[in-house]
Structure 1
């Protein structure tokens, strides 16, 4: 009988496969963030309704992440990912064929729960072994980004040529190979704590997760699509699509670097530095330096993405890790769900200097509060040996 592989090698392999599954399921959602605000009338909705639909998938996770986490912990990665990928393909098919707010809303709610399961799987598998967790988390983000980085520019070009609907038929088919990859994931359940309070007082890390979601996953993305449409009529969908693709290309190139930097500097210290730079870039974005600051924001976001899971692992080791990852994701989703709502309501009427400047300041304050919270050093191979 061949010897069992090294635990770290097994964790690397499982983390990579979970990331590939999410990479195949994610493009339909990311492309919707580009096309829905620009082509709202062709989907039978208003801009405000587009903001609500883009927020809905995150808002449902606020209520549903706990149930998703319990299902995931009880059933394991393989069944959870198989179910989520199948439903993701159904959602993409619906985006291609259905119109109107009430027809699209159930699809957004269903996708929200699917993403919760897929995202939780990638984070839990990336941090299953504390050795190299930051680096592994960075590599996982790079694999996840490969799907959107290809879909966004191609989808933008196809939308300009044939309208916003046909690309979603293609992306429904793209999601299906994820079923074959998901079948290779482990099916064992994950250990959890015996009891977990449903509501807990928010921590400084929760505050940062909320502001990160509000600014980068909400206000920035919707604002890029909306403001870019006004600055470059006609070709705006292609330019915005390329810049949003650059966001994911930056994840491929820079998220592993962010993970390596976190291993050396510590994830909390790096989080503070990158968040302060992000706040400055958001202020510039709102002040009118749209494309240059947007490019800087996507770079900084890519470096920050691998940081949250290792920080959670440090602060909540042991069986509580899965629930803690889900809790932090809930706070990010609260922020990211609020962001499109604010953008849809305020972008047409409010000064962008205030709309982006105030959240930027709050993001910087949240990062400073998070850095003041003591975090134990990450374990090393040497310490684990003892």
Structure 2
């Protein structure tokens, strides 16, 4: 007879489901806004700024979110974030114009920061099986976008880009029932530290991972493959975006199990080196084979960082350290599209992808050699109770 899941596993699963229900409005907006900017009262440039706004506010606000989350606990913070995410989706359906929509994008950025931090903190609350839990968590999170993107594309093709967000607002509200079952005790936090310190090896790897896989690769795939994709129809684009999340569902749990067996640091180094080779091949012209390899490797790597952070910064510093790594990934992911937009028309793709691939490999090797990271970027006040 199957045994009931442990409380740590159950809490991790619930936080992931809450994020999975809140996330589709954002991912579908990434699909529809560039294609239908005029129907939202935007220019294409304004649409690009709106899509970047949620990441920019996370870079600036992750420290505040981490402190608020640690003080309040998972249940109230995730409940508030899910309700705000539903409000953002409703706004996408009703409001037009840059200045009407940008507050919603900033609000969603803070909501995602809180929900993402909760999924990572709860997955690593128990060192035993943390990598496996982190992989399962990524799989649950990806289920929302992988279903919403193709369905949203079909509905947008039939009715226009607005009505789907009414549906996604209702979907986000379903997350309230899950968020209300999360633990409510606050998390312990570390004593205050100097706010800015030299980045450590995990910071460098997080930055390069965001720069290459969430920035340069995504933009380059669209730019370099534009002549090979059929027509750029919204349904085709939705299916292509959904494939990345499908890879997370299928492969992130595998990455977590491998990390528990082989060691997360060792696996991070191996997968990052192979990813660097795939990026070089991508820049050299083996577009689709290397793109498929990169999608697989990215999904396998996603669950690795939280358990590494947990082991290197145990105790009250864990929540702060998880938030710091997320900031560095967001900085890289925000820089990547800017570099791609500036350099893809000018520089040979082999150089554009080969140099960041080398830097990613060096950052991964540094992670494998470094026994403990230097804390960076964020400071947190002292706390009193543990969950």
Q: Same fold (TM over 0.5)?
A: yes
Match of 1:64 in 2: 61
TM-aligned CA deviation for residue 372 of structure 1: 1.8
State the alpha-carbon separation in 2 of the partners of residues 169 and 226 from structure 1.
32
Question: Are residues 1:174 and 2:171 paired?
Answer: yes
Match of 2:239 in 1: 242
TM-aligned CA deviation for residue 232 of structure 1: 2.6
TM-score (norm 2): 0.88
Match of 1:195 in 2: 192
Q: 1:282 to 1:266 in 2, by over 3 A?
A: same
Deviations along 1:242-273, whole A, 9 cap, x unmatched? 22212111111111110111011111111111
Match of 2:369 in 1: 372
State the alpha-carbon separation in 2 of the partners of residues 50 and 226 from structure 1.
18
TM-aligned CA deviation for residue 166 of structure 1: 2.6
Question: Are residues 1:304 and 2:301 paired?
Answer: yes
Q: 1:151 to 1:225 in 2, by over 3 A?
A: farther
Aligned match for 1:37, one of 29, 34, 57: 34
Aligned match for 1:10, one of 7, 12, 19: 7
State the alpha-carbon separation in 2 of the partners of residues 286 and 356 from structure 1.
5
Q: 1:321 to 1:60 in 2, by over 3 A?
A: same
Question: Are residues 1:88 and 2:85 paired?
Answer: yes
Q: 1:222 to 1:185 in 2, by over 3 A?
A: same
TM-aligned CA deviation for residue 201 of structure 1: 1.4
Deviations along 1:176-202, whole A, 9 cap, x unmatched? 100011000011011111323322210
Q: 1:355 to 1:53 in 2, by over 3 A?
A: farther
RMSD of equivalent CA atoms: 2.3
TM-aligned CA deviation for residue 351 of structure 1: 4.6
State the alpha-carbon separation in 2 of the partners of residues 146 and 294 from structure 1.
21
State the alpha-carbon separation in 2 of the partners of residues 337 and 225 from structure 1.
17
Please say which of residues 63-72 and 164-173 is displaced more in the overlay. Answer: 164-173
TM-aligned CA deviation for residue 29 of structure 1: 1.4
Match of 1:278 in 2: 275
SS in 1 for 2:125: coil
Q: 1:363 to 1:240 in 2, by over 3 A?
A: farther
Aligned match for 2:73, one of 73, 76, 80: 76
State the alpha-carbon separation in 1 of the partners of residues 118 and 242 from structure 2.
24
Aligned match for 2:137, one of 131, 137, 140: 140
Check the 8 A contact 1:55/1:338 in 2, yes or no.
no
Match of 1:358 in 2: 355
Question: Are residues 1:24 and 2:21 paired?
Answer: yes
TM-aligned CA deviation for residue 357 of structure 1: 3.1
Deviations along 1:300-339, whole A, 9 cap, x unmatched? 1110000000000111011110111111111111111222
Question: Are residues 1:153 and 2:141 paired?
Answer: no
Question: Are residues 1:295 and 2:302 paired?
Answer: no
State the alpha-carbon separation in 2 of the partners of residues 97 and 23 from structure 1.
23
TM-aligned CA deviation for residue 168 of structure 1: 2.1
Q: 1:236 to 1:298 in 2, by over 3 A?
A: farther
- In the TM superposition, 1:38-53 aligns within 5 A as 38-53=35-50
Number of paired residues? 371
Please say which of residues 344-353 and 78-87 is displaced more in the overlay. Answer: 344-353
State the alpha-carbon separation in 2 of the partners of residues 216 and 21 from structure 1.
25
Check the 8 A contact 1:37/1:226 in 2, yes or no.
no
- In the TM superposition, 1:256-275 aligns within 5 A as 256-275=253-272
Q: 1:292 to 1:162 in 2, by over 3 A?
A: farther
TM-aligned CA deviation for residue 132 of structure 1: 0.7
TM-aligned CA deviation for residue 374 of structure 1: 2.4
Check the 8 A contact 1:57/1:108 in 2, yes or no.
yes
Q: Judging by fraction of residues, say which structure has more helix.
A: 1
TM-aligned CA deviation for residue 224 of structure 1: 3.6
Structure 2 portions without partners, runs of 5+: 374-387
